[in-house]
Amino acid sequence: MNQLDALKQFTTVVADTGDFKQIAQFQPTDATTNPSLILKAVQMPVYRSLLDETLAQHPKAALDETIDRLLVRFGVELLSLLPGRVSTEVDARLSFDTDATLARARRITQLYQAQGIDTEKRVLIKIAATWEGIQAAAVLEREGIHTNLTLLFAFAQAVACAQAGVKLISPFVGRIYDWHKKAAGAAWNEAERAGANDPGVQSVRQIYNYYKQHGVATEVMGASFRNIGQITALAGCDLLTIAPELLAQLQAQTAPLSASLSVAQAQATPIERLTLNEAQFRFALNEDAMASDKLAEGIRAFCADARKLDALMQA
């Protein structure tokens, strides 16, 4: 058995791509997209027709509506190849505007429904895990619109998402690793900080253990991986969203793989149940230099790609 098939015994495997023609060979359950992945896809000749058709079918639509229609078009194509769900992201430029996030999330949901998609079972709305985004997610969940809170780096973000009752969170393993490696500089020891000692892996494990220990229903989906060692160290996590190149590497490996995370091991070390108000959340995030740096950087990067997608559509 290869490691990808072995991983599927413990964890729901999710493809992290907008390139739906790569999906079939890996047979993931779900798929996630983001502005960067969609921008990359629409610049490939094989997907250019989706952009052209969206523009042709809605020539008088506002730019933001056209973008949402394009995102949904990709999502529908992905869903045709998957048994599970697709995550579609709200414009990152709305990350600090609860009302605007709500409006866009509702429109994306309605666009999926117009295509005959059962959104309650098959669509997750991705929202940046800012305080404003988490509050929007709480409202959407009460409306039956399920959410995936992304750009999650801090334990405080995970606690607030649990309070909000969000469906799923995406803690970013690789970007946490990147920050710590850069901060350590020449002192970084790759071998010593690999596997279970990887700071990104440790962050997800802490969140997973907290959720399972306190019966939090929110699903944990590790994301943003740099190597397959990070992935195998999180075998047993609820979900892992993995880029196609790493899925291929897992498929090529045949070394034995066992679960590293489980509900049983989550009970081993008691963790206090926390409740955070807005001030406490913002202070905790501010105290975490890695998380505040990477959250801001991630939003900026997604905003930059959203602007590039805007320009491509306008051109």
Q: Which two tokens stand for residue 252?
A: 């090529």
Taking phi over 0 as left and psi of -120 to 50 as alpha, with beta for the rest, 185 belongs to left
Q: Name the nearest CA neighbour of 82 among 40, 117, 126.
A: 117
Structure tokens belonging to residue 29? 């359950």
Active-site residue among 126, 167, 212, 294?
Answer: 126
Specify which residues 241 forms β-bridges with. Answer: 14
Residue type, 197: N
End-to-end alpha carbon distance in the chain: 48
Listing DSSP states for 261-283 in one string gives --HHHHTSS--------HHHHHH
Q: Are 250 and 4 in contact (CB under 8 A)?
A: yes
Cα separations (Å) of 189 from 15, 182, 197?
Answer: 30, 12, 11
Annotated catalytic, 126?
A: yes
Please give the positions annotated as active site: 126
